[in-house]
Amino acid sequence: MKQWNILPTPSPEFLTSHPELPNIIARLLWNRGLQTQIQIDEFLNPDYLGDLHDPALFRDMEKAVDILFDAIKTDKRIVVHGDYDADGVCAAAILVNTLKKLGHKNVGVFLPHRETDGYGLNLNTVKYLAEQKTDIIITCDCGISNVAEITAAKTAGMKVIVTDHHTIPPTLPPADAIIHPLIEGETYPDKGLSGGGVAFKLMQALLNRHHLENEFLPDGKTHESFEKWQLDLAAISTVGDMVPLIGESRTIVRYGLTVLNKTRNLGLQKLLRVIGIHDENGEPKRGTITAETLSFQIVPRINAAGRMDHANTAFQLLTAETEAEAKKLAELLNQNNLDRQKLTETIVTAARAQIKANSLPADPVLFAYDEKWITGILGLIAGKIKDEFNKPTIIMGKNSGEITGSGRSIPEFSLIGALQKMPEHFHKFGGHPMACGFSLKSEDGLENFKKDLIKLANETIADANKLVPTIIVDAEVNLEDIHWELYDLLQKFEPFGQKNEEPKYLARGLTIVSVDPLGQTGKHLRLMVKHNNQTVRKTIAFGLGDINKHPDDWKVNLKPNDKVDLVFTVGVNEWNGNRELELKIIDIKKSPD
């Protein structure tokens, strides 16, 4: 049973000072800490020119730009080293696109293979790049933890520019320039950029430098136009890496979605058609693209390349120059994603069974391991198991003879913080408080690793038995309050994401009119309900009829005339030119008698 936490109402003074705001909207602003007129205006109406910071505010930005313009002038070999997820791939595409647009032809890209190369730089890659006569390496979405590798690159005579946003290690690498919002003493004001966001800032700085002496780019286009057409990639990276959608990241995604809805990127055009978001003429079939579209439709397909095969496929899609190439790659990514979905379900079922057989209720961390599990999707498995059991979860497989794992956590326990306290276990590790990846030094050390992680979790989590998943509810409402005028106001809060979650509402004492299972296995439900009058409203409960995830088995235990309390979000369902408000159920409880 999940706990519902209803956020507090605004102060009377706030409501009095903003009489033009409906009560629900006022609550949303108040509980997001937006309480002054300036804060409210910036949030509801982000301005591209006014709300993006000068990239020169990064301490090392001038160094990085000097190095790259010298390389362009002297035709030095530049290689952009990205990562294998949507953030790293988009970041690499932004910088490769920019360097080529500035007229530099001697530029290449290296994206690591998830299983054979692992995350970030490795010594074999450094050796390979040196053999290829590389002069400069630019890392995207990685590099900040690669002290040994960047030292080796410097020894080999290469210059290195790090662009990254991951957790800062105890020792920084000896790079020639580090563009990272979180390093100690960094003067850049926004600390929440994604890897693609950081790459976007380097792109801006390069364009600004070129614009000082050139009215136009070498192809005759304007600097401003090229910059804005890269916003679709920056938005995908930002949503894909789940950074907080506040501040500069919010502005990037808001404007990036506008660009994506009319994208000129051939690969994205074809991907939108393959998915079914656009028709063959490039016209929308399901309304405008939102951050939710990115999260559940576009990002998974870009990520599928690195999970199932190699991220090069995704990079090639995003930089495709012909329609035929773009169509072929879009279809390949879509098939990769279908394969990934099937494999994920298979492994989730096996991991769930293993955990139920081997874990105790008091265990603060859950573990599952099978040497046959493909390591590219371990993070997805860990996330699904974590969501189901509400405990930190580590899922492991074997890669090149090493036990490789991914973890997903809950707010009460920082995974990267725990791993940093036990580095002796790992050949390599990295991540964030809520997610990590690692490879163990020794297979024999698996049990000691599990024991030490459990010990740290027990010291942090007071009682694993009392961990209850919490749903944050923005406001309690009557269904009669949910109408098109409210929805239009709620649009101002998009894009939704981290630190600006899609608002959730609670309605109590609804009467069930009918319950209809949907889908082949009935794991989705359509509930017809009414509240304080005789108007019947349709609600959709995705996944709440799945007995594996919801033991209440609502498709059996709900019947007409039952009284229920619902937590839901408000969206729009569009089909064949029709639009209707759609209430998506997040959780259900029987109303108290």
DSSP-derived letter for residue 592 is P
Residue recorded with tokens 């038995």: 465
For residue 478, give the 3-state DSSP assignment: coil
Q: CATH code at 450?
A: 3.10.310.30
pLDDT the model gives residue 331: 96
pLDDT the model gives residue 188: 97
- pTM, two decimals, is 0.86
Q: CATH code at 487?
A: 2.40.50.460
Tell me how far CA of residue 488 lies from CA of 342, 427, 439, 559, in angstroms: 37, 51, 48, 33
pLDDT the model gives residue 262: 92
Phi, psi of 298 (to 5 degrees): -85, -50
- Residue 256 falls within a domain, yes or no? no
Q: CATH code at 63?
A: 3.90.1640.30
- Residue 352 falls within a domain, yes or no? no
Taking only the tens place, the pLDDT of each residue in 271-328 is 999 999 888 888 887 778 989 899 999 999 999 998 888 899 999 999 999 999 999 9
Whether residue 225 sits in one domain with residue 140: yes
Residue 35 pLDDT grade (very low, low, confident, very high; cuts 50, 70, 90): confident
Whether residue 96 sits in one domain with residue 208: yes
Token code pair at residue 410: 């809950």
What is the chain's length?
593
- Residue 437 falls within a domain, yes or no? yes
pLDDT the model gives residue 546: 65
Please check the confidence at residue 115 and state whether its pLDDT lies above 80: no
- Residue 49 falls within a domain, yes or no? no
- Residue 88 falls within a domain, yes or no? yes
Whether residue 184 sits in one domain with residue 61: yes
- Residue 423 falls within a domain, yes or no? yes
| Domain count along the chain | 4
Token code pair at residue 45: 């109406």
Residue 101 pLDDT grade (very low, low, confident, very high; cuts 50, 70, 90): very high
Give the angle 500-503-509 at the CA atoms, nearest 5°.
160
Which range of 17-31, 96-110, 272-286 scores highest in mean pLDDT? It is 96-110
Alpha helices in 242-289 (DSSP H): 247-260, 266-275
Phi, psi of 554 (to 5 degrees): -60, -25
Name the least confident of 43-47, 90-94, 327-331. Answer: 43-47
Q: What does pLDDT average to over the chain? A: 91
End-to-end CA distance of the chain: 18
Whether residue 276 sits in one domain with residue 370: no
Residue 38 pLDDT grade (very low, low, confident, very high; cuts 50, 70, 90): confident
- Residue 50 falls within a domain, yes or no? no
Please check the confidence at residue 555 and state whether its pLDDT lies above 70: no
pLDDT the model gives residue 550: 58
Whether residue 265 sits in one domain with residue 223: no
pLDDT the model gives residue 246: 87
Which of residues 466, 483, 499 is at a domain's end?
466
Please check the confidence at residue 247 and state whether its pLDDT lies above 70: yes
Name the least confident of 74-78, 367-371, 373-377, 404-408. Answer: 373-377
> Which residue range is the domain that position 432 belongs to?
359-466
Which of residues 347, 380, 409 is at a domain's end?
347
In angstroms, rounded to a whole number, what is the distance separating the alpha carbons of residues 111 and 261? 27
pLDDT the model gives residue 423: 93
Whether residue 204 sits in one domain with residue 109: yes
Share of the chain above pLDDT 90, in %: 67
Burial of 487 (C-beta count, 10 Å sphere; 0-12/13-18/19+): middle
Alpha helices in 276-322 (DSSP H): 291-293, 299-308, 312-318
Q: Which of 106, 112, 140, 93 is nearest to 319 (CA)?
A: 93
Tell me how far CA of residue 294 lies from CA of 210, 241, 268, 291, 554, in angstroms: 32, 11, 11, 5, 30
Whether residue 323 sits in one domain with residue 240: no
Cis-peptide, bond into residue 495, ω within 30° of zero: yes
Whether residue 541 sits in one domain with residue 575: yes
Strands 536-541 and 578-590: parallel
Whether residue 216 sits in one domain with residue 273: no
Whether residue 234 sits in one domain with residue 113: yes
Taking only the tens place, the pLDDT of each residue in 371-394 is 999 888 999 999 999 998 999 999
Token code pair at residue 196: 């693609």
Which range of 18-27, 29-38, 264-273 scores highest in mean pLDDT? It is 264-273
Which range of 68-82, 484-498, 501-515 scores highest in mean pLDDT? It is 68-82
- Asked if 561 contacts 276 with a C-beta cutoff of 8 angstroms, the reply is no
Please check the confidence at residue 454 and state whether its pLDDT lies above 60: yes
Tell me how far CA of residue 474 lies from CA of 219, 285, 477, 501, 509, in angstroms: 50, 31, 10, 10, 18
Q: Which of 174, 177, 144, 164 is nearest to 67 (CA)?
A: 177
Whether residue 450 sits in one domain with residue 491: no
Token code pair at residue 368: 């599952």
Whether residue 489 sits in one domain with residue 459: no
- Residue 278 falls within a domain, yes or no? yes
Which of residues 420, 435, 466 is at a domain's end?
466
